[in-house]
Amino acid sequence: MTVSYKGFTAVADVSFTVEQGKTLVLLGPSGCGKSSLLNAIAGFVPVTSGRIQLGGREITSVPPQQRHMSMVFQTHALFPHLSVIDNVMFGLKVWHGPKRSKAERRERAMDALRIVHLEDKAERYPDSLSGGERQRVAIARALVVNPEVLLLDEPLSSLDARLREELRFELARISAEQHLTMIYVTHDQEEAFSLGDEIAVMRAGSIQQRSSASQIYNEPRTAFVARFIGGSNLLKCTVPSARDDVAQVSGRPVRCRNPWSVPQGEAYLALRGHALTLHAPVADGNGLPATVTDVRYMGAYSAVGLVLGDGQSLRASVAGTRDLPLRAGDDVFVEWIPEDATLLVEERS
Amino acid sequence: MSDRTGAIAVRGMKERTRRGASLLFIPGILIVVVFLLMPVVLLILRSFSSSPAGNPDIFPLTIDNYRVFIQQFGYYASHFGKTVLLAALGALLGALVAYPLALGIVTTRSRSLRFAYVFFALTPLLVSVVIRSYGWQVLLGPTGIFGQFAPGTNGFIGTDLAVVIGLGHLATPFVLLSLLPVLDNLDMSLIRAARGLGANAVQVFFQVVLTRSMPGLVSGLVVSFAVGATVVVTPQLLGGRTDRLVPNLIFDEMTVQFDWNLAASLSTVLMVVIALVAVAVSLLESWLSPLARARRASLSMGR
């Protein structure tokens, strides 16, 4: 589908499928079109071209209230004039499903509140709840109508770090228990990795890469993905031959992987900072000689800034809680195993 | 030791500046007293006066000006009742017109279009009430586009309906002005959440938009009611010769009967009636509105 507003294309010809019971995470920086995509799926934003199907049913032009999806918003969007239980029951009252008695609706709403462990706050009003509790009520309210797809638009972004982590585990538990199909929008890599069966990294309205978390991490498809996920080093290199899995960096041949069949010529080499090991200068091994520019102790690891002979810089994360016996100006040899280095072409746009 | 004297010196300075700052209130207080409070006090004093019209002296005081309300209770009760009723209906009519206008304005994406809408919706405020009432006299008169369908020979002129329409026109910009900020602050994700949960447009309107905008709607209604219950020209030009509204009675006492004292007591009673209605409506709103109830419940539970 494509979504444009007044000449600005927010979502550019994106296409994907989510399997029932699975979670797809749309991950990307702000303004990459992930929220527009989610709102188009929900029916709040019209689709400029393309189609949306739900279980084989065409829903592209179905109004949002008939799509059988519900959404959890970043701002929780609870109705302030209704108590917690009335908020949760709202969907049951207006849902175009089987008619239920008030007692039955209440019972189902209480079940939903039990799922998020808030059954004892049923009579409270949203204003008297904490941020985390409000978002849990919003989740219960979205769950109670048994949506075919649960849409979540940065549901944890407005919470503090500790609550975010707590609710992340809670969401993973609920999604597994209820066999939910979810589309989850976030800019947070940890959230994406812990919740997504599949992750789609978005940039400027298009999906750069869609695959499992480990593939995205280990085999970034584009330079953007490599940099956005975990902050890879990207080194300019030349590929002498497409078949040999060798790249020429700073005038030296190094071994690497070439999963995307980068052709002969100019390319980038993506290297994770913590895949690098530092040794005393040696002549052999799979790596490059470099000079230390700065060393920063970070607790579980040390961040080491390095510069290569041709002036390119990179950062290494050296695991260990002890101070490193290194200082700026030291000459070292940066080494890695070939599986940890991936060849990429220049960014696709 | 030096520390303590320092602290005292600082405190002394603070007190002096604070006293100086409070002097800044004086111009504001003067304006309120001279332009708002004094006329009301003079009006109330006049309503207890027995001196003839035109005489600035108000003594000797009497309660005769209020005794007439008891002596002719039925007469005044029916006039006050009708004034309250027509002003209320006018305010409601204004709200019925203003609400869709306000919804249209807040959902307009383009800034320049929005400005144009607000400007045109508020133009009635730029035109004198007299002109607007004459306008309605033409429209509702025997040859006007609405008046020609009236059963009598006088169009709709002289009917309560004409007065309500005129008052509704007065009320519209006031209701609109108090609705716009409330609707602008309405969280769009509330509407999306309700839609996503299966609510159709009508359910969204009554269960989310209307409830959330109730405070603005009620304050707009109260202001419009106060304007409608005090305007002279509109009922004079559009209403009937019999069964006239209180502002017209006051106008007559001032200019025809030349009894300023009775005009003052009528005005005072009208002021009290309007204040009572405004307080009653506000109390009712805070008892009945679900939003206010939720706020009270949250407060009593504490955070």
Whether chain B has a CB inside 8 Å of the CB on A128: the answer is: yes
Minimal CA separation from A101 to chain B, in Å: 18
Whether chain B has a CB inside 8 Å of the CB on A141: the answer is: yes
Q: Nearest Cβ partner of B195 from A65, A80, A128?
A: A65
Measured between beta carbons, the chain B residues lying within 8 angstroms of A124 are: 297-298, 301
CB contact under 8 A, A94 and B200: yes
Gap between the terminal Cα atoms of chain B: 43
In chain A, pLDDT over 90 holds for what percent of residues? Answer: 27
Measured between beta carbons, the chain A residues lying within 8 angstroms of B302 are: 128
Count of CB atoms situated within 10 Å of the CB of A331: 10
pLDDT of residue B141: 86
Whether chain B has a CB inside 8 Å of the CB on A20: the answer is: no
Q: Which of the residues A8, A39, A81 would you substitute to probe the B interface, choosing the one with the greatest number of B C-beta atoms within 10 Å?
A: A81
Measured between beta carbons, the chain A residues lying within 8 angstroms of B301 are: 124-125, 128
Look up tokens 């799922």; give the residue: A115
Q: Which of the residues B109, B189, B192, B197 would you substitute to probe the A interface, choosing the one with the greatest number of A C-beta atoms within 10 Å?
A: B197
| pLDDT score of A243 more than 80 | no
Question: In chain A, whose CA is at the least distance from the CA of B197?
Answer: A91
Q: Which of the residues A66, A94, A141 would you substitute to probe the B interface, choosing the one with the greatest number of B C-beta atoms within 10 Å?
A: A94
Q: Determine the 3-state secondary structure of A286 from DSSP.
A: coil
- A21-34: average pLDDT: 91
User: Exposed e or buried b for every residue in A144-170, given b needs 16+ CB within 10 A?
Assistant: bbbbbbbbbbbbbeebeeebbeebbeb
CB contact under 8 A, A94 and B189: no
d(CA B264, CA B63) in angstroms, rounded, equals 12
Count of CB atoms situated within 10 Å of the CB of B155: 22
| pLDDT score of A348 more than 70 | no
Cβ neighbours of residue B235 closer than 8 Å, sequence gap 6 or more: B86, B163, B166, B244, B245, B247, B248
d(CA B167, CA B177) in angstroms, rounded, equals 16
Round the average pLDDT of chain A to a whole number and report it: 88
Q: Determine the 3-state secondary structure of A102 from DSSP.
A: helix
Measured between beta carbons, the chain B residues lying within 8 angstroms of A152 are: none
Minimal CA separation from A168 to chain B, in Å: 21
pLDDT of residue A250: 85
Whether chain A has a CB inside 8 Å of the CB on B185: the answer is: no
Per-residue pLDDT reduced to its tens digit, A289-310? 899 999 999 888 899 999 998 8
- Based on its alpha-carbon atoms, the radius of gyration of chain A, rounded to whole angstroms, reads 25
Minimal CA separation from B291 to chain A, in Å: 4
Q: Does the global pTM surpass 0.95? A: no
Taking a C-beta distance cutoff of 8 angstroms, is the pair A78, A91 a contact? no
pLDDT of residue A223: 85
Per-residue pLDDT reduced to its tens digit, B213-256? 988 999 999 999 999 999 999 998 898 777 789 999 999 988 88
Per-residue pLDDT reduced to its tens digit, A31-51? 898 999 999 999 998 899 999
pLDDT of residue A349: 44
Q: Nearest Cβ partner of A95 from B197, B207, B302?
A: B197
DSSP A302: E
pLDDT of residue B296: 76
Sign of torsion over alpha carbons A71, A75, A76, A79: negative
Minimal CA separation from A121 to chain B, in Å: 11
Cβ neighbours of residue A86 closer than 8 Å, sequence gap 6 or more: A79
Question: In chain B, whose CA is at the least distance from the CA of A88?
Answer: B197
**B97-104 contact pairs (CB < 8 A, 24+):** B97/B168, B97/B172, B98/B171, B98/B172, B98/B173, B98/B175, B98/B176, B98/B179, B98/B220, B99/B175, B99/B179, B99/B217, B101/B172, B101/B176, B102/B175, B102/B176, B102/B179, B102/B180, B102/B183, B103/B183, B103/B209
Is ipTM beyond 0.95? no
Count of CB atoms situated within 10 Å of the CB of A128: 20
Confidence of residue A96 (pLDDT cuts 50, 70, 90): low
d(CA A11, CA A3) in angstroms, rounded, equals 5
Whether chain A has a CB inside 8 Å of the CB on B197: the answer is: yes
- A65-89: average pLDDT: 90
pLDDT by 10s per residue, chain B, length 303: 444 555 555 555 555 666 677 788 888 899 988 898 999 998 999 899 888 877 777 778 888 889 888 898 999 999 999 999 999 999 999 999 999 999 999 988 888 999 999 998 888 889 999 999 999 989 998 888 888 887 877 888 888 999 999 999 999 999 999 999 999 988 888 998 998 888 888 889 988 899 889 889 999 999 999 999 999 999 988 987 777 899 999 999 888 888 888 999 999 999 999 999 999 998 888 888 777 777 777 777 644
Question: In chain A, whose CA is at the least distance from the CA of B300?
Answer: A128
Minimal CA separation from A131 to chain B, in Å: 12
pLDDT of residue B303: 42
Measured between beta carbons, the chain B residues lying within 8 angstroms of A70 are: 196-197
Measured between beta carbons, the chain B residues lying within 8 angstroms of A73 are: 189, 192-193
Quickly list H helices, chain A: 34-42, 84-94, 102-115, 131-143, 161-177, 189-195, 213-218, 223-228
Measured between beta carbons, the chain B residues lying within 8 angstroms of A82 are: 290, 294
CB contact under 8 A, A142 and B196: yes
Whether chain A has a CB inside 8 Å of the CB on B1: the answer is: no
Provide the pairing of β-strand A53-54 with A23-27.
unpaired
- A182-189: average pLDDT: 92
Minimal CA separation from B286 to chain A, in Å: 12
Measured between beta carbons, the chain B residues lying within 8 angstroms of A81 are: 211-212, 289-291, 293-294
Look up tokens 């509704």; give the residue: B168
- A73-87: average pLDDT: 90
User: Exposed e or buried b for every residue in B242-278, given b needs 16+ CB within 10 A?
Assistant: eebbbbbbbbbbbeeeebbbbbbbbbbbbbebbeebb
Q: Nearest Cβ partner of A64 from B196, B208, B302?
A: B196
Which of B162, B197, B5 minimizes the C-alpha distance to A145? B197
Q: Determine the 3-state secondary structure of A159 from DSSP.
A: coil
φ/ψ of residue A58, rounded to 5: -75, 120
Measured between beta carbons, the chain A residues lying within 8 angstroms of B111 are: none
Per-residue pLDDT reduced to its tens digit, A130-165? 888 999 999 999 988 888 999 999 998 888 888 888
| Amino acid sitting at position A231 | G
pLDDT of residue B1: 43
Taking a C-beta distance cutoff of 8 angstroms, is the pair B38, B45 a contact? no
CB contact under 8 A, A96 and B194: no
Question: In chain A, whose CA is at the least distance from the CA of B289?
Answer: A81
Q: Number of CB pairs < 8 Å for A and B?
A: 101
Q: Nearest Cβ partner of B291 from A75, A80, A96?
A: A80
Bridge partners (DSSP) listed for residue A341: A271
